[in-house]
Structure 1
Amino acid sequence: MALRTDDISINTIIGKGSAISGNMKVNGFIRVDGDIDGSLETDGNVIVGENARIRGNLTAKSVIIGGIIKGNIKANESVKILAEAAVIGDIISRKVQVDGSAIIHGHCISIKDEAEFGKTSGEYLQSKAIKEKVNL
């Protein structure tokens, strides 16, 4: 998996064969090669390795996905979904790149303009929260 990023120092690694149950909030760059059953939030970049599985929402600065995510993704800068990856959930980012045979099952909002992105993503997240409360 080719990676080019500004921040090259990884602060947190969840190794292959590791499993975490529960929500996580970390600082900085994180690489996930194991399984997370819960949401992940960081102010940095995220790499989801090809063997990784996340069942929960993902919030980050930017995301590169090689594995499977079953949950919504919000990345302020970019989302790149590699060829063997799958996302079952909604994607909100300023830039989205999807390789040829990747799978996306959900909505995708991609707006380059920062102000318009903030407004639209806020409205979308609010309407989604209202729908979830109604369906409880």
Structure 2
Amino acid sequence: MVNNAQSPTAPSTSTGDGAIIGETMRIKGSIFSRDELRIDGEVEGSLESHNRLTINSKGKADATIKAAEVVIAGTVNGNVEATQRIVLRKGANLVGDVKTAGIVIEDGAYFRGGIDITRQDTPKAGGR
């Protein structure tokens, strides 16, 4: 279900390089993208991208998030998983657990939750 405060039929902006959920959009449900995904509006449900997923400063997500890279400048309530890294920008608010290979938390970001840093298995010396 897609709700838009100005026009109930206005679609999100989409290009071959990704998709944008605009400031006036409010979405409930699951969103999947192989391209980059940028959230400027509100999302409730789940978000998944095989690329970068960005929650901009005005963006809000009450969602489970999975992506290669997650950049948060807005507000997220929910667990976040990134195969590469998670970046919390100044002013970001994240309440939930994170699982990632790398994390950057800038001064001025708020984070409450657990962190699980993953790593690729490395071959043991001597083949053991």
When the two structures are superposed, what TM-score results if normalisation uses the length of structure 1?
0.74
The code of the aligned residue for 1:83 comes to K
Query: Alpha carbon RMSD of aligned pairs, Å?
Result: 1.4
Q: CA deviation at 1:10?
A: 3.4
Q: What residue number does 2:41 align with?
A: 34
More strand by share: 2
Q: What residue number does 1:13 align with?
A: 20
Corresponding pairs, count: 107
Q: Does 1:115 align with 2:121?
A: yes
Q: What residue number does 2:4 align with?
A: none
**d(CA) in 2 for partners of 1:77 and 1:83?**
20
The code of the aligned residue for 2:108 comes to S
When the two structures are superposed, what TM-score results if normalisation uses the length of structure 2?
0.79
Larger radius of gyration: 2
Q: CA deviation at 1:103?
A: 0.9
Task: Provide runs of 4+ in structure 1 moved above 4 Å.
Answer: none
Q: CA deviation at 1:98?
A: 0.2
Segments of 5+ residues of structure 2 without an aligned counterpart are 1-15, 123-128
Q: What residue number does 1:88 align with?
A: 95
The code of the aligned residue for 1:34 comes to G
**SS of 2:121 mapped into structure 1:** helix
**Aligned-pair identity (%):** 22
The code of the aligned residue for 2:114 comes to H
